[in-house]
Chain A
């Protein structure tokens, strides 16, 4: 109670004092509003003054103690209260005692208290709220915008950092004034579609690059791989080769399997002579492969009783043989190496091979004819 009254008294004092006391603390507008309210307070005081009189002794004791330091302030209040008539009457009743003189201002204060409380506090709240709306509310709203916008901006900045860096320089993350705050929300949706388009373009570019890479890989794979028919050196590269190969396989397969071979041959228009003249590819390749393998085995198999001298001689022979190969190749190309072995010659060849086999045990270093060959001649005779 005292606290409230004390504040009210101070408020009244401040409101009633001249300008120099106000300049340091409050604005002019605030003072003007308070001056207007004093008039309303005076009206209330006139209405309630007769009711407050019986309570004067109780309030005198409490208020005297409270208002002793405010003696200097009371004097100017009297100046302001001169137009009120009841106040003059109280002054006449108690002229000799100053304490008694102070009663009417106390009563006035008491009469003011509830009115001021009822009016001033809500009015102060209203003023404060209005002031906030006018000044502080914008700051708070701006602060909310500051709090809310960076979350959105951060996401956008992340996107921008991924794509482009120029947007970073153009946009400032923190707004410095209301105008920028108002402008930014309009700017953001404008730039979003551009970002979306740029992102879409980037995606398209990436997809194109990936497709190109895949095509290149396929081309490289196709070029690198040359598929050979297993068991042969035939390579099926063009489509025509593939078609021919398929047709030939179908024919040969049918002929191989069918029980009515002649019928199928007639249907397909194949003659026996053609079949005989065309040897099978697989057989030929197999024969050649076996031939090469047999020769490799013969070459790798060395003479068990070979000496270092023979190795040296054979090395010289190898150097000489390289010169002879060209001549032998040309003989073969012309056809001078074609032969038909007679039975007699075959026996001789095989016999000579037997002699060579026996030479493993008795090598003929002196270049003499072996005795065993004579036995072969006797057999032939």
Chain B
């Protein structure tokens, strides 16, 4: 794994080769990881059961996302109103899978890669590529995803309502 000068946070004698996914503490071996006395997760209690762990994870995500949502606002007023007023969209954006796919679309739109030898990609080409990629995620596409489909439908309904 990654080699660095950081010592083990539990035994403090050997170099820490691993990292705890929950609390981020460096540890050297499975023995230290399983040490219940020293290895205590700061953000949450020790996991007792699978279901409880899942619930805690969900709670943490909600807290984090709600804080982000409160702080951030979109540029366009109409879009911001849609986002702030619709709890469904906010709920969907909490899931990382949704963010993952939408982030790809965003990356396509903001890329500055040269398209072959003809120079930079045209903005129209970027849009076309993004549109086609969204089609792959929606109904009838290769990478069909229910959450993305739901997100798109809700957003379209909101936009149409605003236009009317």
Partners in one complex: yes
Contacts A320-B156, A339-B103 hold; do A345 and B97 have CB atoms under 8 A apart? yes
**Which residue in chain A gives the minimum CB-CB distance to B107?**
A291
B12-20, B26-34, B39-47, B136-144: which one contacts chain A? B136-144
Determine if A326 is an interface residue (Cβ-Cβ < 8 Å): yes
B window 64-116: CB within 8 A of A: 68-69, 72-76, 79, 82-83, 93, 96-97, 99-100, 102-115
In the assembled complex, which residues on chain B have CB atoms less than 8 Å from the CB atom of A306? 140
Return the contact of B135 from the options A321, A336, A343 (Cβ within 8 A).
A321
Q: Total A-B residue pairs with C-beta atoms closer than 8 Å?
A: 152
In the assembled complex, which residues on chain A have CB atoms less than 8 Å from the CB atom of B139? 313, 317, 367
Q: In the complex the two chains form, is B152's CB within 8 Å of A320's CB?
A: yes
Contacts A306-B140, A329-B109 hold; do A338 and B130 have CB atoms under 8 A apart? no
Q: In the complex the two chains form, is A324's CB within 8 Å of B107's CB?
A: no
Q: How far is the CA of A364 from the CA of B152 in the complex (A)?
A: 19
Q: In the complex the two chains form, is A303's CB within 8 Å of B141's CB?
A: yes
Q: In the complex the two chains form, is A339's CB within 8 Å of B100's CB?
A: yes
Determine if A327 is an interface residue (Cβ-Cβ < 8 Å): yes
Q: In the complex the two chains form, is A334's CB within 8 Å of B100's CB?
A: no
Q: In the complex the two chains form, is A353's CB within 8 Å of B143's CB?
A: yes
B window 124-155: CB within 8 A of A: 127, 129-136, 138-146, 152, 155
In the assembled complex, which residues on chain B have CB atoms less than 8 Å from the CB atom of A381? 50
Return the contact of B108 from the options A295, A326, A334 (Cβ within 8 A).
A295
Using C-beta atoms within 8 Å of the partner chain, give the interface range for chain B.
35 or more
Q: In the complex the two chains form, is B106's CB within 8 Å of A337's CB?
A: yes
Smallest CB–CB gap between A381 and chain B, Å? 7
Determine if A352 is an interface residue (Cβ-Cβ < 8 Å): yes
Q: In the complex the two chains form, is A331's CB within 8 Å of B144's CB?
A: no
In the assembled complex, which residues on chain B have CB atoms less than 8 Å from the CB atom of A205? none
Return the contact of B76 from the options A302, A313, A330 (Cβ within 8 A).
A330
Q: In the complex the two chains form, is B74's CB within 8 Å of A288's CB?
A: no
Q: Is the interface of B mostly helix, strand, loop or mixed?
A: helix
Determine if B62 is an interface residue (Cβ-Cβ < 8 Å): no
In the assembled complex, which residues on chain A have CB atoms less than 8 Å from the CB atom of B159? 323-324, 327
Known: A329-B106, A353-B143. 11 other contacts (CB 8 A): A298-B143, A306-B140, A321-B130, A323-B156, A336-B68, A337-B103, A338-B103, A343-B21, A345-B97, A356-B144, A369-B146
Q: Which residues of A contact B (CB under 8 A)?
A: 228, 233, 285, 288-289, 291-292, 295-296, 298-299, 301-303, 306, 310, 313-314, 317-318, 320-343, 345, 348-349, 352-353, 356, 359-360, 364, 367, 369, 381
Q: List 12 A-B contacts (CB under 8 A).
A: A292-B121, A296-B129, A303-B140, A303-B142, A317-B139, A318-B135, A320-B152, A323-B159, A324-B152, A336-B93, A337-B99, A342-B96
Q: Which residues of B contact A (CB under 8 A)?
A: 21, 50, 57, 68-69, 72-76, 79, 82-83, 93, 96-97, 99-100, 102-115, 120-121, 127, 129-136, 138-146, 152, 155-156, 159
